[in-house]
Copies of this chain bind each other. A is one copy, B any other.
Amino acid sequence: MTRLLAEGVGWAVDGRFVLVDVELALQPATLTVLTGENGAGKSSLLEILAGTRTPARGAVKLDGVPLPEIAPAHLARRIARLDHAPGLYLELSALENVRLFHALLHPGTAVLDAAALLTDVGLASRDHMRPVRGFSRGMLQRTALARVLASGADVWLLDEPSTGLDRAGCALLADVLQRVRAQGATILLATHDPALLPLADRRLHLDHGHLQPAQVA
């Protein structure tokens, strides 16, 4: 059963197409790695799949339902995004951020053990309580990863998730991804980082709006 499906997706900027006729089917419990040259359109494709950008053509379907027909509230619970912006309130601490975003998506459920999540992504407990404004790039990225984890979504769309992470951070990221996949999540990640390639169940290469199986390097 296909979880996320892109049918004939096209996207244009200034009257010029970046993506044309993109066809993509993502299954549950798989991790797909998307590669492509700089400017190939990976980030744009992820945004379209997440429903935060409207494609000029074609449609994206989640479990067979076109995205525009799904309530945004429901969508947010299903699809998690990690991109270049950290998606955190800089004035709040890591703990407060994770708790807030969890509560927005799952109000009234049991309180989440946010501290455990943060420790999971390798954030020292000393850093849990201070505003993330002062965080280093890698620390921000880790916190953002914890936010995604807290969302409990089952479709993960990650744009260069290993940016700024040190070697230990990359290993943690790989762990997390494998764990989530084992729980049935559909993961699509765009990256240039060769360290993440071995995780892939499937590798796709984006070239002029055309998706093809990547040659194994």
Chain A interface residues (CB < 8 Å from chain B): 13-14, 35-39, 43, 84, 122, 127, 130, 134-139, 141-142, 160, 163-170, 192, 194-195
Contact = CB atoms under 8 A, between A and B. Distances in A.
A137 B47 CA distance: 14
A165 to B, nearest CB: 7
A13 B134 contact: yes
Most buried by B among A160, A164, A169: A164
Contacts of A122: 38
Closest 4 CB pairs of A and B: A38-B138, A39-B136, A38-B166, A166-B192
A139 B135 CA distance: 26
15 contacts: A36-B166, A37-B166, A37-B168, A38-B122, A38-B138, A38-B142, A38-B164, A39-B136, A39-B139, A43-B136, A43-B137, A84-B137, A137-B160, A160-B164, A163-B164
Given A37-B138, A37-B166, A37-B168, 16 more contacts: A13-B134, A14-B130, A14-B134, A38-B122, A38-B139, A38-B141, A38-B165, A38-B166, A38-B169, A39-B135, A39-B136, A39-B138, A43-B136, A43-B137, A170-B192, A194-B195
